[in-house]
Structure formats: C-alpha cells, structure tokens
Amino acid sequence: MPSNLRGKKIAILATDGFEQVELTEPRKVLDQAGATTVVIAPKDGEIKGWKSKEWGDTVRVDKNLNQATPDEFDALLLPGGVMNPDHLRMEPKAVQFVRDFVATGKPVAAICHGPWMLVEAGVVKGKTVTSWPSIRTDLLNAGAKWVDQEVASDGQFITSRKPDDIPAFSRKVIEAIGRGAAQQAA
C-alpha cells in the first residue's frame, strides 16, 4: 500500500473487549503507510482485546478520551468486537466524540460491531453501510441502507463486516485519508 499518509494522525477509539485484529491490523497498515495512530479510551493505561473466543492482548492507551478532540485528528477508526462498542455507546463522551468527529467531514471507518457507535451518535441516516450481520437491524432502524459486502463507502464513512474484510477495509481507509490530504493540499 502507498506511503502517502505521512503527517496524518488517526484516532482509534476503543475500550476493553475490542476485537483484537480489528484494531491491530488496520493500525499496522496505517502506521506502515506513514500515519501516526493514537489509541483513545475512556481510561488510562491499557485496554484488553478479545481474540476469537477469549481475552487477547492488551494495547497501550495513548490518550484519555477526556483530553481528545476531533480537530487534532485526520480520521477516526472504530474497531468492533461485541463488548467494545457496546460499552463505548454507554459513555456519553465517546458518543459525543464520534458525533463531533462526523461533523468535521473527515473520514470515519468502522468495522464489525463498530458501526453501533455511528447508530448511537445518530449519524447514519441515509448512508449506505455494512457491518456484522447481527447489527443490521439497528443500522436499518437508524435510517441507514445496509449492504452485505466486504466494504461500503459512502461520503466520509467506510464500513466493513468482519476480520476477513480487513485488507479491503484498510485499503479503502488509506484511500479516503489520502484523498482528504490531496484536497487539503489543493
């Protein structure tokens, strides 16, 4: 993948129970493309991943949600896992961060159960999205058009269904951030 993201800063909003590969794999690709990734969580220290059917590795929290603002980032990544977005959507500051980030018009990428945060923030009405099949009805009830494909891109939103989709998801995310960088340079 191209290394055109030098100088770009990507927020990764997560908490305990994130699906491990849905944070670590896109993060690795973004870092390799030259971006700086910043894990934001409602707590300091570390957050613990979920790996298939058991607890996985921990990831260091780079910034507490209380100190994060959307204007310091060029894109937002919302990993899935069932627990992660379910806990985050109960955190008013996390929901407001997503809502405020969407208002910037910058890329917002969500995979698996991550789009639950978009539902909670009230920002998917009229958008074409995909997700893990179990949250399809939530997205439809929020006014989104749900599709069953490895990646859906609609305006600033990039969504994917599951870990198998990570390569296509990561390519689309890099493309969207790169487009944003080109538009800012013009």
91 CB-side CA count, 13 A: 22
Mean pLDDT of the chain: 94
**Tens of pLDDT, residues 112-126:** 999 999 999 999 999
Mean pLDDT of 27-36: 96
Mean pLDDT of 175-183: 74
Mark whether 184 is an active-site residue.
no
Q: Quick one: pLDDT at residue 119?
A: 98
Asked if residue 1 is part of any domain, the answer here is: no
Domain with 112, as residue range(s), is 9-185
Total domains in the chain come to 1
Q: Quick one: pLDDT at residue 185?
A: 42
Q: Quick one: pLDDT at residue 4?
A: 81
Asked if residue 105 is part of any domain, the answer here is: yes
> pLDDT confidence of 182, banded at 50, 70, 90?
very low
Would you tell me the crossing angle of helices 20-32 and 166-185 to the nearest 10 degrees? Answer: 40
For residue 143, give the CATH number of its domain. 3.40.50.880
Asked if residue 171 is part of any domain, the answer here is: yes
Q: Quick one: pLDDT at residue 186?
A: 42
Mean pLDDT of 10-16: 98
Strands 46-51 and 54-60: antiparallel
Report pTM.
0.95
Catalytic residue among 10, 47, 102, 112: 112
| In contact, 15 and 47? CB cutoff 8 Å | yes
Spatial distance between the Cα atoms of 117 and 102, rounded to a whole number of angstroms: 11
Asked if residue 32 is part of any domain, the answer here is: yes
Per DSSP, the residues of 95-137 read HHHHHHHHHHT--EEEETTTTHHHHHHT--TT-EE---GGGHH
Check pLDDT > 70 for residue 183: no
Asked if residue 87 is part of any domain, the answer here is: yes
Check pLDDT > 80 for residue 184: no
Q: Which residues contact 46 (CB under 8 A, 6 or more apart)?
A: 58, 59, 60, 61
Asked if residue 4 is part of any domain, the answer here is: no
Asked if residue 18 is part of any domain, the answer here is: yes
**Tens of pLDDT, residues 74-90:** 999 999 999 999 999 99
Take residue 49 and report the two structure tokens written for it: 């991943």
Asked if residue 174 is part of any domain, the answer here is: yes
Take residue 122 and report the two structure tokens written for it: 């009230």
